[in-house]
Amino acid sequence: MLGLGAKMFIIAGPVLVYGTVASVVYGVIDRITTLFWRKKACQSASLSLSKNYKF
C-alpha cells in the first residue's frame, strides 16, 4: 500500500518531468533564436552605419 506522498507523485512525477523537458527545449530554442537575431541586428546596424558615416 502506498502512502499519500507516493500517491501524489504517481501523477505529479510525469508532470514534473514533462515540464522540465519542455522548459529545457524552450530555453534552447530561445537561446538559438536570440543569438541569430542579435547577429542579424548587429550586421544590419553596422551596414547602416557604414552607409551613413564615412570613417
Q: Mean per-residue pLDDT for 22-42?
A: 84
Whether the model clears a pTM of 0.75, i.e. scores above it, the answer is no
Query: What pLDDT is attached to residue 48?
Result: 57
Q: Mean per-residue pLDDT for 27-54?
A: 70
Higher per-residue confidence, 14 vs 22: 22
Q: Mean per-residue pLDDT for 6-20?
A: 86
Which residues lie closer than 8 Å to 10 by C-beta, 6 or more apart? 2
CA 45 to chain centre: 25
